[in-house]
Chains A and B, each alone.
Chain A
């Protein structure tokens, strides 16, 4: 129970990697507030699963682009739970297109959700962490933000931005016993890649040294390590979970 009685917020928690992180935190003793954009049913289903693990779960509808609603969520969490220990910024969307076909809206919505969304929750949580002189933040980025992928200029820019944000903030708040790290998944079996054609999936997997897509639990394990005391001397780092895809 490495997170016993801790209170965690996970953005984009109802599906995929976020969902796995919510379950990992609850299984290790944390109460979890998680946000979702649209799928209320999935969110409520997950809340019931968390409660089966004996922990409190609180699904909250939130568009990550909304600064004021993000602020309200943090305030409400402090009111209801009396504290906040962990923030996992995971909410993210893709709108993949060749740059020549990319509308301004495709660019803005991805940057605003992924990068500004990370700012919105972190900005509103950081004063609490600074005051209590403890806190742990993990941002979910992507190998796309490190090595680039064609047709993902918007997504890659948002994820590279998250890495810069992580490193800068880690330096800024380290003396307050707050750690800030990032996890960069490669191809993971989630809804985000399930839309790909089987043949294309196979050819992608061939380029991964470990020969397969990753599992959401394998990403959650890296998050668990970064949030736990075993990584107490690690801050401002990016752990890549990609089966070796980005090895250069």
Chain B
């Protein structure tokens, strides 16, 4: 099973149509990869769907790099687990 970093990286790569290798942990989505606000929303929606979590849209500006995105996803996944237990 892949770890969450790789899963999210691959998911983002598919949305922005770039090679996954081009997305380093600190590569800036907007400046370095040309991600626009609509693509950022697609990334958010795809993560929500994959992990069955809800990330508030206010978090959208924070999805600026892979490491930041993974951190947010982990945060809400943890919240979900806490709710279930």
Residues of A participating in the B interface, judged by any CB pair closer than 8 Å: 127, 130-131, 176
Contact = CB atoms under 8 A, between A and B. Distances in A.
Secondary structure class of chain B's binding surface, majority of residues: helix
B57 interface: yes
A137 B44 CA distance: 23
Interface residues of B, number: 6
B38 interface: yes
Interface string B17-46: 000000000000000000000100100110
In the A-B complex, the 3 residue pairs with the smallest Cβ-Cβ separation, listed nearest first, are A131-B45, A127-B57, A130-B41
Contacts of B57: 127
B31 to A, nearest CB: 22
Nearest to B46: A131
A131 B44 CA distance: 9
Nearest to A127: B57
A127 B57 CA distance: 8
Contacts of A176: 38
A176 B44 CA distance: 15
Contacts of A127: 41, 57
Nearest to A132: B45
